[in-house]
Amino acid sequence: MSMILRSRARRAARLSAAGLACVLSAAWASSDPPIANPLGNGESVVLEPALPPARPSRHRAVFVCQEGGVPVFADRPCGSASEMRSFVVPTPPPGATASTTPPSPAASTRPRTVAPRPSPRVVSASDNTCAKLQRQLDELNDRMRAGYSAREAARLWQRWRDTKERLRTVRC
């Protein structure tokens, strides 16, 4: 058995040595000599700031031509019957994002309409009582729909019955 173990150990050593040789040769082939700067030699590099982009023209001439009764917009004149229009594109302030929605006007062009105040009407006592009882019943219904504990159930249902009875006696 020792002979089998020795042959396995030799085979494992050969495989690991071959693998290590492959890794080292690949690393040696792909490694380039270190470079001190982007130019590849010992000279110094001076970085200059890039020039800002040229400001685009915000005044554009647009020509409107008629072709078969349909208006056609172009940046060049399209004949003797063309009409020239000029569009002014506002530049957003620095730091602001550009938007395609028009800004809201600084002031309204029409005065705000004022709704007339309703005249106080005389409410009879029975109407006031009916409204009050109906409001109490609505509040109770809302409270009951929101959920309640078993402890509150009897009290809420009794209040609901009493309020309904009062509505009936007042004849609302």
40-70 tens-digit pLDDT = 566 666 777 777 766 666 666 777 887 788 8
pLDDT, tens digit, for every residue of 72-98? Answer: 888 777 766 556 666 666 677 777 777
List the domain boundaries for the chain.
59-88, 125-170
Secondary structure of residue 134 in the 3-state scheme: helix
pLDDT digits (tens, 9 = 90+) for 149-164: 888 899 999 999 999 9
Question: 0.75 cut: is pTM over it?
Answer: no
DSSP SS3 for 132: helix
20 φ, ψ (degrees, to nearest 5): -65, -40
Rounded Cα gap, residues 113 and 135, in angstroms: 32
Residue 30 scores a pLDDT above 90: no
Q: Convert the pLDDT of each residue in 13-25 to its tens digit.
A: 787 877 777 666 7
Query: pLDDT: is 108 or 163 the higher one?
Result: 163
For the purposes of burial, counting CB atoms within 10 Å of the CB of 136, is it exposed (0-12), middle (13-18) or buried (19 or more)?
A: middle
